[in-house]
Amino acid sequence: PRVTKTTKAVMKPTRFVMDMSSAMDLDLKPEDFVEYVIEHFKTKAGMTAPKVTVERSTVVIDSEYSFAKKYVKYLAKRYLHSNDASEMFRVLSTDKASYEMRLYAEAEE
């Protein structure tokens, strides 16, 4: 028989930041993104959902458990798609722990 190992989630505090300053110009509100993240964030058994807060035009996602930074980008892209703004904005990494929603025209300049 095949033996499978069960892995527990690593308890390493994680903090990611999403800058939405350019998205606010076109009526995308950080508060709506916070609601979307809280509603759609999937957790494994025994994990608690992350705390999502708004600080001016940035959204901060704090979690007791580690998760991939790419998951934040995935949620942001899904949020843009649900608001029909995926063709206007792109999600770019600006730092090791942060992303920025930027207009395509700004990214080309």
Exposure string of 23-54, with b = 16+ CB inside 10 Å and e = fewer, is: beeeebebeebbebbeeebeeeeebeebebee
pLDDT value for 76: 93
pLDDT band of residue 18 (cuts 50, 70, 90) is: very high
In this predicted model, what pLDDT tens digit does every residue of 62-74 receive, in sequence order? 988 888 899 999 9
- Res 100 pLDDT > 60: yes
Whole-prediction pTM = 0.79
Helical H segments across the chain, by residue range? 30-40, 69-82, 104-108
82 confidence band (pLDDT: 50, 70, 90):
very high
Mean pLDDT of 74-80: 94
Pairwise CA distance, residues 35 & 37, whole Å: 6
Contact call for residues 98 and 19 (beta carbons, < 8 A): yes
Q: Higher model confidence: residue 58 or residue 45?
A: 58
Picking from 92, 91, 19, the residue whose alpha carbon sits closest to that of residue 60 is 19
Per-chain mean pLDDT for the chain: 85
